Structure 1
Amino acid sequence: MRPTAPFWLTAAFIVGVFLSGMQYWLLSYRQAELPVAVMGPGLLALPVIAAALVAARVAAPRRALVVMMSCLPCAIILRVVAETWRDPTSHNLWPFEVVMAILVGLVAVLPGVGIGVFLRGR
């Protein structure tokens, strides 16, 4: 039985959330300033995964873009939920964090999707 595209997209999303959020989750609240706090190897994994999904024809470019660029905002939301559970006043500007994460995710993943389209066309 061959795994289908939703399986690979789900697996890519889970790995992307974990990799992009790991560096950010390990920082203290005072050190975690976006977008600098998420810049690192985890963020570089997102375009690589997106390029692999598109090049292997697992997902359409638009779907791979949306799924992979949503990994970083989901990692940010997980931290916001965990920290506001302990201290409800800790993240009073969380919508700005999420918007910034969406923009950083888009800028990071878009070249990967382009590379995947290029490799798929060959």
Structure 2
Amino acid sequence: MLYLPYLHLEKYKALLSNKVNKTNQIDKEQIIKADTLEMMQNFINEYNDIYNNRNLFYEDVKNFYELKSENLYIDSIVLNKSIKISGCSSNFDSIINFTQKLKLNSNYKKVEILSVSFSNGLNRFIIQIDKIGSE
């Protein structure tokens, strides 16, 4: 669980107020502490969902021996829809094998290599994974 001390709440409220004011022309005074606490809780819940989703993905990746999880990075997650990961490997075939194994996962609708480049002795890649039920 992400913990944010109450001392930071006023700072967060001010930052949030500035953002809302710039985007929606809402006066800063319209945001009361209760609203801020609710928004903060929503932020914490969303963060936890993403964090848990990332951890579940890394647990799945442990089954793929060609690539170590420390060589994989999640670039973005759209909850329950897609994951975009980047990584590196000195062996190009391991990227292909990794992608093929991901395609066998019944939770993933589509697995696609977006790019592969070579630099400093490593193959760097980006893979997009769409989950079942995503549109």
The TM-score normalised by the length of structure 2 is 0.25
Which structure: greater strand fraction?
A: 2
Which structure: greater helix fraction?
A: 1
Q: Which has the higher contact order (CA 8 A, sep 6+)?
A: 1
Structure with greater Cα Rg? 2
